[in-house]
Amino acid sequence: MRTVLKSLVFGLALVPLVWLAFTVVTGRTSPNPAQDIIDSTGIWALRFLLITLAITPLRRLTGLNVVIQYRRMLGLFAFFYASVHLFSYMGFDRLFDVGGILSDVVKRPFITAGMTALAVMIPLAVTSTKGWIRRLGRRWQTLHRLVYLAAVVACLHFVWKVRALVGEPVYSVVILTALLGVRVLWRLRSPERLRPRAPGIFRRASQSEQIPAPKAH
């Protein structure tokens, strides 16, 4: 059943990309399909990042320990969509002109923020395996706290890109603020209990996390 559910989540995570490809092939995009691809992949990268950050609060509030096993997969999908977003921008918007891309990074704040968010996510994705967890030890947890920085900068990228405090950019900021606020409250209320359980979102759930515990941690 666990394998079936993981396969289902994996398939659902690919739906936005499949739908985007379908709209492009069938001509159902706007007059600027390249921009549609860039925008859509970027939005879904941020959505998956926020969904992944919501896994731990969801588990603590509902007691559904089973959701923890999907955190790593969802985190990697956030990185996947962010990578597609980057290469779409580089290819469609700048035709892989390195000079133009570097100029954008320097002169356009929202590009700077987007590049920073992806740069922060790279080491998190690379060190998502059990092997890296063993190699880094306690430093691994410290490294994976950078995911909060990635989420904050990604929201800034979205807001600065749209240049309007309405719609999904605002919703994303509100959701991220709520998720960070919940974590701060938990740490203030029970710092000793939460300190050893500060996992990164790109980590594969351990066996103890995959099997519901008889008591809440």
Q: What is the mean pLDDT of residues 56-84?
A: 91
Q: At a CB cut-off of 8 Å and minimum separation 6, what does 50 contact?
A: 151, 172, 175, 176, 179
Q: For residue 167, which phi and psi values (nearest 5 degrees)? A: 70, -150
Determine the pLDDT at residue 200. Answer: 55
Q: What percent of the chain has pLDDT over 90?
A: 62
What pLDDT sits at residue 77? 97
User: Whole-angstrom Cα distance, residue 32 to residue 35?
Assistant: 6
Per residue in 35-62, pLDDT (tens digit) is: 999 999 999 999 999 999 999 899 988 8
Report the C-alpha gap between 182 and 107 in whole angstroms: 35
Structural domain spans, the chain: 2-24+33-201
* CA-wise closest residue to 110 among 48, 156, 43: 156
pLDDT band at 137 (very low <50, low <70, confident <90, very high): confident
The pair of structure tokens assigned to 102 is: 């570097």
14, 67, 8: which is closest to 44 by C-alpha?
14
At residue 127, the 3 state secondary structure works out as coil
Residue corresponding to tokens 């092939």: 25
In three-state secondary structure terms, 41 is helix
SS3 208: helix
pTM, two decimal places: 0.85
Q: pLDDT per residue over 155-201, tens digit each? A: 999 999 988 777 899 999 999 999 999 988 888 886 555 444 444 55
Categorize the per-residue pLDDT at 210 as very low, low, confident or very high, splitting at 50, 70 and 90: very low
Whose tokens are 């092997």? That residue is 131
